[in-house]
Amino acid sequence: MRKEAVFIIVIILLSTAVSSDHQYYRGPVDLTDAEFFSLLKPTYETYDKAQLRNYFMTRVTPQYFPLSNYASQDTFNRANNAMNEEIITYAGSPYDFSDGTGGFNWNLIPAGDLGLDAAAYLHRFYHMNNIANAYAHTSTYPTENPIPDESYVNEIIFEWDEYWNEFFKVTPIYHFPAGPEFLQLNGLLNHFERIRNWIETFEYIGPVHESPTFDENEVVEYLKKLYMSIEYIRSNEVQWPITSNQVITGKASVLYAGIMYPEFDASDEWLQYGKNGLEEVITTDIFDDGCHNERTPGYNHVALMSLMTPYNLAALNGISFSSAYNQRLEKSLNFIKYLMHPNNIYVPAIGDTSIQEGFSIWLDDGYTIFGDQTFRYVETFGAQGTMPSETSKAFANCKYYILRSGWGQPGNIQSYKDQRHLVFDAARFAGSHSDWDNLNIILFAYDKLLLADPGEYILNGPDKAWFESTAAHNTIVVDNRNYNLMNNIPPTSPNPDFESEVTTSYNFGDGFDFVKGSHNGYAINTGCSGCPITNPVVITRNIFYPKLGENLDYFIVSDKMLGSGTHTYDQYWHLTHMISIGIWHHLLEV
């Protein structure tokens, strides 16, 4: 016998896969000067070191993104800590990587939950951007007439050489820091990001300031290391994940090198390799509705950064992408336009996403690149541009549904921020960056976040399991546990996966919005392939939003649980602004 349990709540708002085939790098880890110059195109191959250094310091093309005219005190603090103390700041905490002799211990993995992530952060050379910016701006902060401090350049050169000689040349690289299972993914990502950060560092300490410390020998040594790094990641492409934000980052890194170093014989191949890779991955990893296939706003942001930045760098140098690439980029920007809460600061913290993720940086691209004045309207809170024609929006591939009251009164910023904005998350579990959060609701209204998703804690940090759990979200928990998973990416074999794709339907109109989602993630399987599912519980959530205007606004949320046997049902609501968490409990028995 099957029985139903129904919860109804009215929210009233008033104006208040990776390949396992291991392939080691077979390229050089050292190049003689003669071998290096043989890798250059005609004319450049005939230069001596001094001529090559002079050429790179004075060339006006290709162009790189301009250096910011400002560096914060925090930038200098981090640069000085890395240079003088070998201390890297990750997730707000200092990590000491000193080898005791004035250099970094590149094989160190600090103790604690975040030690692995801190080690990856070091290997990606994110800290070098701080050092390069500190050098480029001043040695006596603050001053109106900055005099670059060459000790920063000495540090950069020292770190490049130390990393290369003490780690790259002697380590089975893609096995660091936690064995092949880790590095097939994150280890190669370390190399992708390292290449990008090295290129940026060179541009900022070289052509921008023509550092005398960066002499002809150091220029050649840098270019040698860069060449070998590019060939390393290309020769290990068999280790790359099939699809993810990391593939996008890898292709983008090679494209960066192809654009910025046309002097190499291989540069045309690098350029085409990176460009073709991005052209392909944008159609596989970005859905037709603009959502990234990891179905997590934070990684939508990461993926878009790795798609848009090389696109802009290419445009800066007269290189264009296909119309299909442009169209998919524009759709991804449009996805963000609807996803952001009306304060243009917060986004729904779904999965591994920070509540304040910085999505608004993309609004400028929406109207400057694609000429869509609705992005200008959103960026200015309705003061300029054209109001979007749709209020609510369904992203059917991703299964995010946005119920929005409107776009405010043009020119009235507070009216824009006061709009009601409910996000219904019916996305499937899509891998390690997802949470057990089916049928979750996030609500922003009257310039406040009211119903919150707690978002990410820290990758691999303490309590991460709770942040991912079903109970941490505004949804239904059955029998005090997470639901089972089906169609996970990648499969979690040998453990069975059971969560089916969520079934959804919706109707958005001028007078009301309605959306419905169902899933059977609380079914129990006997554990064998093809065995019948027993004791299923199907949860259906209905959301009805009558658009009644500014004086009275509410959402009706109706939850129906259809099952057999005895179960407990808990309806969780995570409210903000000093309001206690509400839990409605119901016991259903046959």
CB neighbourhood size of 386 (10 A): 13
Cβ–Cβ < 8 Å for 349, 456: yes
* Contacts by 256-262, CB closer than 8 A, 24 or more apart: 256/195, 256/196, 256/199, 256/310, 256/313, 257/195, 257/199, 257/226, 257/230, 259/62, 259/310, 259/313, 259/314, 259/317, 259/319, 260/62, 260/64, 260/199, 260/203, 261/223, 261/226, 262/41, 262/62
Cα(275)–Cα(322) distance, rounded to whole angstroms?
Answer: 10
Structure tokens at 170: 């002697």
Phi-psi label, residue 379: left if phi above 0, alpha if psi -120 to 50, beta otherwise: alpha
Q: How far is CA 83 from CA 104, 159, 273, 464, in A?
A: 10, 9, 35, 32
Cis upstream peptide for 142 (omega within 30°): yes
**The pTM of the whole model exceeds 0.75:** yes
Mean pLDDT by groups of 10 residues along the chain of 590 residues: 62 45 62 97 96 94 88 91 95 93 92 85 93 79 64 95 89 50 58 93 84 92 95 73 74 96 97 94 92 90 92 96 96 96 93 86 94 97 96 94 95 95 91 88 94 76 81 93 65 48 89 93 63 75 89 88 88 74 38
Q: Which helix (H) or strand (E) holds 570?
A: strand 567-573
Cα(442)–Cα(527) distance, rounded to whole angstroms?
Answer: 34
> Which domains does the chain possess?
3-16+391-588 (2.70.98.70), 23-240 (1.50.10.100)
Of the candidates 589, 545, 549, 590, which has an alpha carbon nearest to the alpha carbon of residue 11?
545
Cβ–Cβ < 8 Å for 578, 552: no
Cα(344)–Cα(362) distance, rounded to whole angstroms?
Answer: 11
pLDDT recorded at residue 149: 85
Neighbouring-strand partners of residue 96: 87
Is residue 510 exposed (0-12), middle (13-18) or buried (19+ Cβ within 10 Å)? exposed
At residue 438's C-alpha, the angle toward residues 436 and 440, to 5°, is 105
Based on C-alpha coordinates, what's the Rg of the chain? 26
| Residue type for position 555 | F
What are the two backbone dihedrals, phi and then psi, of residue 297, each rounded to the nearest 5 degrees? -55, -40
pLDDT recorded at residue 521: 83
Write the DSSP symbol of residue 248.
H
Cβ–Cβ < 8 Å for 382, 394: no
DSSP string, 275-329: HHHHHHHHHHHB-TTS-BTT--HHHHHHHHHHHHHHHHHHHHTT----HHHHHHH
Cβ–Cβ < 8 Å for 59, 206: no
- Sign (positive or negative) of CA dihedral 429, 434, 440, 445: negative
Of the candidates 533, 341, 528, which has an alpha carbon nearest to the alpha carbon of residue 452?
341
Question: How do residues 68-109 score in pLDDT, each as one tens digit?
Answer: 878 888 999 999 999 999 999 998 899 999 999 999 999 898
Cα(536)–Cα(498) distance, rounded to whole angstroms?
Answer: 11
Cα(417)–Cα(435) distance, rounded to whole angstroms?
Answer: 28
Return all residues near 250 (Cβ < 8 A) that are at least 6 apart: 188, 189, 192, 233, 240, 277
Q: How far is CA 543 from CA 307, 514, 585, in A?
A: 35, 6, 20
Angle between helix axes 188-205 and 115-123 (nearest 10 degrees) is 40
pLDDT recorded at residue 465: 84
Pairing mode of beta strands 537-546, 400-404: unpaired
End-to-end CA distance of the chain: 7
DSSP string, 438-474: TTEEEEEETTEEEE-------TT-TTHHHHHSGGGSS
Is residue 30 exposed (0-12), middle (13-18) or buried (19+ Cβ within 10 Å)? exposed
Question: How do residues 347-356 score in pLDDT, each as one tens digit?
Answer: 999 988 888 8
